[in-house]
Amino acid sequence: MALDIDVIKHANMSQTQLQIWIAQMLRRRSPMYNMGMGIEIRADLDAELFRSAFDLVIRASDSMRSVFRYADGGPVRAVLQPAELEYEVPVLDYSGKPDDAMHWMREQMRQPFNLTNRAFDSALLRTGPESFTWFISKHHLICDGWSFANFTDWVGNKYGELEAGDDSKPQIPQYQDFVDREILYYASDACRQSAEYWDELASEPLPPLALYGRSTDNASTENTRVHRQLSGDLVELMENAVTSKHFRAFSKDQGMYLLLLSAMVVALNVASNNDRFSLAVCLHNRVTTDDKTALGTYFIHSALRAKLEAADSFAQLYRRISKDYRQVLRHYRHPVSTPPGERVWDATVNYVNKTFPDFAGRRTHVHWLRSGRCSAEELIGLQLHRFNGGDGLEAEWDFNLGMFPDAANRDQFGSDFEQAIKSGIENPDTALERLW
């Protein structure tokens, strides 16, 4: 795929934003890129103070004030002035009605955004005498999972400062700085070298894929989320494994991610009998100190081509994936090349090792909300996170309903994934075919 530097400069977007915008324009009324959180705050909040904190953060963030329009022959990201941005943060009373509150939030998640006017929505839901749920929905064009946690932190900190009488403007790093860095990269020699890498990788087509006998011709634009938990014991097993000779990595987080990618390959192999796959690896792409506290869409999906050799052990598969992953890290900033009609990837694995902060000293509990809509190319998505702390990992599986109409197959896939981790670590040198 060739990046047209003039198009990108005109758009004033990162390549991820541009890809999302194009996909959204192909299905303008679909809420497939809506991201949402229901953040339980166990305290009696001052609604007016909350609105003031929210407003100050919006005014300070160019990402939150971004809108997306078509002008002068192409897409453009523009940043509205605070006075130009129209929104409300209503307070809704759902006291004693937690199920009704959740139903309302899920219905809101299905509402498409008018991206020319605003790319977020929010409300404060009272659920009891000393409890609120903060609903926030954003389009993926202005946020990723990391950004949600940062947004909670910025608003919560500002709320606490307002309680103490400090109404100063938050000093939020600007997203434009990141876009400017991206545009410089697109004009670089490194970008051109990465384009050649992806073109060469795409020259070998993926084999046809059928999961539990259902081909990708059955894929639909609806998915369902299945919540599972990787237990504290299993996570401890993984954390110990990445310090062993079998599963070494540059860092603990990288080792954990490589274990997850390896387990996904095993689960895909069991469901399909294929031995070659493409995995979407989610790279958070926050490289500077400012990036780590900023708001906006920083993540990049890149592709890792994985091959399962005959008689592979889990450790051998892990080492091969580790080697391929290092190549991805060299070239991920350039979009993946895919011939027309080819699958980009078979499954997505996203590992977010980040815990949501308290809200101005008040405890929080996060519910990750989805719209239930997707593109037909999204077959399996896995989001693993520690948003609510604890020893384990929350595993949010998104299964394409055209590929996984039966709950039994969805459960089987998640179970096989977990078993691959446990059996693979406990028997690192045993051929996988003997473990299944």
Number of other residues whose CB lies within 10 A of the CB of residue 169: 10
Q: Show the low-confidence residues of the chain (pLDDT under 50).
A: none
Nearest to 183 by CA among 1, 11, 62: 11
How big is the chain, counted in residues?
436
Number of other residues whose CB lies within 10 A of the CB of residue 105: 21
**CA–CA separation, 123 and 371 (whole Å):** 17
pLDDT score at 339: 76
Q: Is there a shared CATH topology between the 5-176 domain and the 206-435 domain?
A: yes
pLDDT score at 3: 65
pLDDT score at 337: 76
Query: 133 Cβ partners below 8 Å, 6+ apart?
Result: 38, 39, 40, 41, 94, 101, 105, 124, 125, 127
pLDDT score at 435: 84
Classify burial at 301, counting beta carbons within 10 Å of its beta carbon; exposed 0-12, middle 13-18, buried 19 or more: middle
Angle at 235 between CA 231 and CA 240, to 5 degrees: 150
**CA–CA separation, 416 and 407 (whole Å):** 14
In the three-class reduction of DSSP (H, G, I as helix; E, B as strand; rest coil), residue 126 is classed as strand
pLDDT score at 2: 58
Q: Are strands 223-230 and 210-211 parallel, antiparallel or unpaired?
A: unpaired
In the three-class reduction of DSSP (H, G, I as helix; E, B as strand; rest coil), residue 305 is classed as strand
Contact predicate 333/191, CB 8 Å? yes
Nearest to 359 by CA among 40, 7, 60, 68: 40
Nearest to 69 by CA among 25, 116, 112: 116
**CA–CA separation, 140 and 49 (whole Å):** 27
- Position of tokens 């545009």? 183
The domain 206-435 is classified under which CATH number: 3.40.50.300, 3.30.559.30, 3.90.79.10, 3.90.180.10?
3.30.559.30
**CA–CA separation, 414 and 406 (whole Å):** 13
**b/e map of 68-86 (b: 16 or more CB within 10 Å)?**
beeeeeebbbebeeeeebe
Domain residue limits, the chain: 5-176, 206-435
CATH number of 5-176: 3.30.559.10
Contact predicate 340/308, CB 8 Å? no
